[in-house]
Chains A and B, each alone.
Chain A
Amino acid sequence: MIEVKELRRSFGPIVAVDGISFDVEKGDVLGFLGPNGAGKTTVMRILACFLAPDSGTATICGYDILRSPVQVRRSLGYLAENAPAYNEMTVGAFLKFVCDVRRITGKKRKQSLDRIVPMCAIESVYHQTIETLSKGYQRRVGLAQALIHDPDVLILDEPTDGLDPNQKHEVRKLINEMASDKGIIVSTHILEEVEAVCSRTIIISRGRILVDSTPEKLKQKYHCSLDEVFRKITRAKVA
Chain B
Amino acid sequence: MHSFLAVFKRELKSYFTTPLAYVFLVIFLFFSGYLTFKQGFYEMRQADMRAFFLNLPLLFVFMVPATAMRLWAEERKIGSIELLLTLPITVTQAVLGKFLAAWLFLAIALALTFPMAITVCYLGDPDVGLIITGYIGSLLMAGGFLAIGCFFSAASKSQVISFVLSVVACAVLVFAGMPTTLNYLSTFLPAGLVSAIESMSFQTHFESIQKGVLEFKDLSYFVLLIVGWVAAGSIVLNERKAG
User: Which A residues are within 8 Å of any B CB, using their own CB?
Assistant: 45, 48-51, 69-71, 73-74, 76, 78, 80, 82, 84-89, 93, 97-98, 100-103, 105, 145
Contacts and interface: CB of A to CB of B under 8 A. Distances in A.
B17 A80 contact: no
Q: Which 3 A-B pairs have the closest CB atoms?
A: A100-B6, A84-B79, A74-B88
A101 B14 contact: no
Interface in B68-102: 78-83, 85-90
Contacts of A74: 88
30 contacts: A45-B82, A48-B86, A49-B86, A50-B85, A50-B241, A50-B242, A51-B242, A70-B90, A73-B86, A80-B79, A80-B86, A82-B79, A84-B81, A85-B80, A85-B83, A86-B10, A87-B80, A88-B17, A88-B18, A89-B10, A89-B14, A89-B17, A93-B13, A97-B10, A100-B3, A100-B9, A101-B3, A102-B87, A102-B88, A103-B2
B113 to A, nearest CB: 27
Given A84-B78, A84-B82, A87-B78, A101 B88 contact: yes
Interface residues of B, number: 26
Nearest to A71: B88
Contacts of B7: 101
A105 B6 CA distance: 11
A168 B17 CA distance: 33
A25 B93 CA distance: 32
Contacts of B6: 97, 100-101
A80 B78 CA distance: 12
Interface of B: 1-3, 5-7, 9-10, 13-14, 17-18, 78-83, 85-90, 241-242
A80 B82 contact: yes
B90 to A, nearest CB: 6
A71 B13 CA distance: 28
A145 B84 CA distance: 11
A103 B1 contact: yes
B87 to A, nearest CB: 5
| Max count, chain B CB within 10 A of own CB: residue among A88, A93, A100, A103 | A100
Nearest to A106: B1
Given A84-B82, A84-B83, A86-B14, A73 B242 contact: no
